[in-house]
Amino acid sequence: MSKNVDTIRVFLSEVSEEMKPTKDFLSKILVRAGMELIFLGPNYEEIDDEILTNKILDQVKKADCTIHILGHSYGKRIKNQKHTSLSEFQFYVAQNYQKENVISKIFIWYPEDLIDKPIDASQEDFINSVRNNISANMVYSNHESPVVFVEDVRSIMLSDKKEIKDIKNTDIFFIYNELDEDEANEIVELVSDIADVTKLGIVQNSPDDYMTFISNQMTKTKLLVIYFNRTSAWATHFVQQVWNKTGGASSQTPILFLGDLQTESNENKNITIPNVSSMMLEADLMPLEIKVHLDTIKIEKI
């Protein structure tokens, strides 16, 4: 699978000796599923705790999630804390990072076929501690199949990537259908000379949670523009959806519904919705019209 924006970067924790074959097999499945693996790397046994913490942190920060495989053996201890295994140490470094950032997920895998096997007392304490302190962004799994486990990781992480988009303060939030992208980009380029613009191209039949993002971004936006050229049927339905989801007539952010008269059939596509200005214009007049609306909003808020 070629690398793309949806590539999931996984920090795969070091494991005790008896779990290395399991880790190697899991690594192959993760790679086949299109994920990019990040490891601690060699020569960590004799590193001082502070340096080791920073080394682990550097790798965790590069990842979208971490995976920790639990076995029945406690494994190697770190240099200055003979009571703490490397596996446990990595888990707590990742956990502390997540508490402060809340932007990544931690996956813990304790394969079901290991559960009834004899276990080191220290490892049992560690596993019990993990199970008793699962937080919102942790996923604990005892699937016997590594394939099922990886599919769960992939499904959860791709879902998160679709939902997480940057929300920022902006003057204009410019939305268009991907089929009108070329014309939309020309307008946005001109408008960007006079105002801050955040743009969003809608891909029809996409599983992306657009409405959640739009609702959140609207709270940071002065003017929402919904533009269309060849996609009038989509736009007419879409603007009604957005209006309903973002407060309707009581929304604090007005909507400008802009159709391009370059397409003759758009001439009669004006709509009548409270708090929505509907206009069919030539493309070269649109940047000026957007500016007029934005200036009016700024004056009203003085």
How do the domains of the chain map onto residue ranges?
9-163, 170-300
Q: Does 46 have pLDDT greater than 80?
A: no
With helix as H, strand as E and coil as C, how does 108-143 read? EECCHHHCCCCCCHHHHHHHHHHHCCCCCCEEEECC
Q: pLDDT value at position 54?
A: 87
**Is the pLDDT higher at 275 or at 40?**
275
* Mean pLDDT across 276-300: 92
Give residue 3's pLDDT. 37
Residue 102 CA neighbour count, 13 Å, CB half: 3
DSSP-derived letter for residue 85 is B
Candidate from 31-40, 62-71, 206-215, 266-275 with smallest mean pLDDT: 206-215
- How far apart CA 30 and CA 22 sit, in angstroms, is 12
List b or e across 122-147, with b for residues whose CB sees 16 or more CB atoms inside 10 angstroms.
bbeebbeebeeeeeebbbeeeeeebe
What's the average model confidence in pLDDT over 269-285?
A: 94
Top-level class of domain 170-300: alpha beta
Q: What is the pLDDT of residue 5?
A: 43
Q: Is residue 146 within 8 Å of residue 23, measured between CB atoms? A: no
Give CA 299 to chain center in angstroms. Answer: 36
Inform me whether the pLDDT recorded for 43 exceeds 70. no
> How remote is the C-alpha of 16 from its chain's centroid?
32
Return the minimum-mean-pLDDT range out of 17-31, 41-55, 197-211, 281-295.
41-55
- pLDDT on residue 40: 83
| pLDDT score, position 188 | 96
Tell me which range, 151-160, 211-220, 274-283, is most confidently predicted by mean pLDDT: 274-283
User: Average pLDDT of the chain?
Assistant: 86
Share of the chain above pLDDT 90, in %: 52
- Alpha helices (H) along 164-273: 181-191, 210-218, 232-245
Mean pLDDT, residues 197-222: 82
- Predicted pLDDT at 302: 54
The b-or-e profile of 291-300 (16+ CB within 10 A means b, else e) is bebbeeeeee
pLDDT exceeds 60 at position 58: yes
- 164 closest CA partner among 217, 206, 202: 217
Ramachandran quadrant class, 225 (left: phi over 0; alpha: psi -120 to 50; beta: rest): beta
- List phi, psi (to 5°) of 159: -60, -45
Closest by CA to 69, choosing from 136, 155, 10, 156, is 10
- Within this chain, domains 9-163 and 170-300 share the same CATH topology: yes
Mean pLDDT across 202-228: 83
Of 50-59, 120-129, 283-292, minimum mean pLDDT range: 50-59
Structure tokens at 49: 């705790």
- Highest mean pLDDT: which range of 94-108, 198-212, 277-291: 277-291
Residue 47 predicted with pLDDT over 80? no
pLDDT-derived band of residue 206, with 50, 70 and 90 as boundaries?
low
Other beta carbons less than 10 A from residue 55's beta carbon: 16
> What pLDDT does 162 receive?
54
CA 226 to chain centre: 24
More confident position, 43 or 21: 21
Q: Taking 80 as the threshold, does the pLDDT of residue 205 lie above it? A: no
In this structure, what token pair is assigned to residue 103?
């932007």
Structure tokens, 58: 């550097």
> Is 70 a residue whose pLDDT tops 90?
yes
At 103, the pLDDT band (50, 70, 90 cuts) reads low
H or E element at residue 252: none
For domain 9-163, which architecture applies?
A: 3-Layer(aba) Sandwich (3.40)
How far is the C-alpha of 143 from the C-alpha of 165, rounded, in Å?
31
Residues 6+ apart with CB under 8 A from 207: 162
Query: Which of 272, 262, 275, 274 has its CA nearest to residue 227?
Result: 262
